[in-house]
Amino acid sequence: MPEGPEIRRVADRLAEVLVDRTVERVRFGLPRLKPEEALLSGQRVLEVEPRGKALLTHFENGLSLYSHNQLYGVWRICPAGRPPNLTRSLRVALETRDRWALLYSASDIEVLEEHELDQHPFLARIGPDVLAADTTPARIRRRLRDSRFAGRSLGALLLDQTFVAGLGNYLRSEILFFSGLRPEQRPRDLDEDEVALLARQIREVTRRSYRTGGLTELPEEVREAKRLGEPRRSHRHAVFGRSGKPCRRCGARIRRSEVGTRRLYLCPLCQPLRRPS
């Protein structure tokens, strides 16, 4: 499933072709949404807003198109009248004069009025978007100390969208590595310096992935890996997907485990096992 950085990059691409433009025709591939086509056709797009792993396309008449890609949804942008040759099911078509934005395979799609946004089952329960400007390290630190989250294991918490929206499996492994923490530790087990570092890394690792198109490894390590001729897949992450390979910091072999039925990677030396204080 795409994580926050990927969804925000999709939002950026959609905004380039939709914002301040009139969507001359809207088509839905789901029968239940057919009556909504006339309400959105001919409307100007004001904003494409990511919220965690969901997208909101806001129209000038006060309606918003909610979409969540889930596992298989994918947006494609193409010249008007020239859709890609895909075998996927078309779910949404937003057609401007010169560009079409097409959503394939997703099924979690709704048209919402403004007052319905905060009542939506997904939007109402998620935490702050990890890449939003107001999701500062200080705000994340307060949430780590919040009684709702302080007793949760980090391995579970970093996948919980009610904590911070937009985090996912590869980000979880990378955040824990750069924080020097283990998935079984809990926020209440950490001292103030450790909580502050974790809050910063939640923000920094996610931002780095967004800026670089999916790279979470530090820039200097990426440069060295490229100099050595390593393929992108080997230097994209510090630990995620690198089971059995040496850690670039200490040389220890990266380990893979299953945490919450999802794969997790860590360095046994850079992330030492510690007992709660």
Annotated active-site residue in 8, 51, 53, 91: 53
Annotated active-site residue in 3, 6, 95, 174: 3
Number of helices followed by number of strands (H, E) in the chain: 8, 11
**What are the distances in angstroms from CA 233 to CA 6, 217, 221, 230, 242?**
17, 11, 13, 8, 9
Q: Is 128 a catalytic residue?
A: no
**What are the distances in angstroms from CA 214 to CA 178, 182, 223?**
16, 23, 15
DSSP-derived letter for residue 187 is: G
Q: Is 204 a catalytic residue?
A: no
Q: Is 53 a catalytic residue?
A: yes
Alpha carbons 268 and 270: distance in angstroms, whole number: 6
Place of tokens 């914002």: 19
Tokens representing residue 45 in the block? 């797009």
Sign of the C-alpha dihedral computed for residues 18, 24, 29 and 34 taken in this order:
positive
Place of tokens 């807003």: 49
Is the separation of the CB atoms in 269 and 259 below 8 Å?
Answer: no
Place of tokens 């909504």: 36
Amino acid occupying residue 44: R
Q: Is 121 a catalytic residue?
A: no
Annotated active-site residue in 262, 263, 268, 274: 262
Between vectors from CA 157 to CA 258 and to CA 128, what angle results, nearest 5°? 135
Active site amino acids: 2-3, 53, 262
